Amino acid sequence: MSWASPDEIFLSTSLASYLDKKLLVLLRDGRKLLGILRSFDQFANAVLEGACERVIVGDLYCDIPLGLYVIRGENVVLIGELDLEREELPPHMTRVSAAEIRRAQKAERDATDLKGSMRKRMEFLDLD
């Protein structure tokens, strides 16, 4: 996204077309942020206004408001333009409160940890 040379002037991947649009930003740590893009630069650093984090656990989801966010570009995986004419999420998903989604996240984490520890114990047995 640096200044394009004359023959590249019409082919530049710029986030300019996404300015002032509501976007979905996927981060490297798996977080999903939604917000309106107000600024960006050549590193894909971005400023999101009215940002919220959409936490999804199974069929439950919750949007946690964050406010004005500056995202460092190295953490950005993908920036997606949300089609306003389509549903953002499948209909079977249920919106819950922040407290409930945190509980669901913890339950999911505990289940994963348990699976991990069980696997470690099984590996000790050296069955294969």
Partner 1 sequence: MLFFSYFKDLVGREVTVELKNDLAIRGTLHSVDQYLNIKLENTRVVDQDKYPHMLSVRNCFIRGSVVRYVQLPPDGVDIDLLHDATRREARGG
Q: What is the contact surface with partner 1 in residues (CB under 8 A)?
A: 1-2, 11-15, 18, 24, 26, 28, 30, 32, 44, 54, 56, 61, 73-74, 76-84, 86-90, 93
Backbone angles phi, psi at 107, to 5 degrees: -60, -40
Least Cβ distance, residue 66 to partner 1 (angstroms): 16
Backbone angles phi, psi at 83, to 5 degrees: -80, 110
Tell me if 35 sits within 8 A of 71, measured CB to CB.
no
Tell me if 19 sits within 8 A of 38, measured CB to CB.
yes
Measured from the CB atom, the residue of 88 and 100 that comes closer to partner 1 is 88
Residues belonging to the chain: 128
Least Cβ distance, residue 74 to partner 1 (angstroms): 7
Measured from the CB atom, the residue of 14 and 117 that comes closer to partner 1 is 14
Least Cβ distance, residue 20 to partner 1 (angstroms): 15
Measured from the CB atom, the residue of 11 and 127 that comes closer to partner 1 is 11
Measured from the CB atom, the residue of 12 and 117 that comes closer to partner 1 is 12
By the 10 Å C-beta count (0-12 exposed, 13-18 middle, 19+ buried), 33 is classed as buried
Least Cβ distance, residue 121 to partner 1 (angstroms): 27
How many other CB atoms are found less than 10 A from the CB of residue 120?
Answer: 9
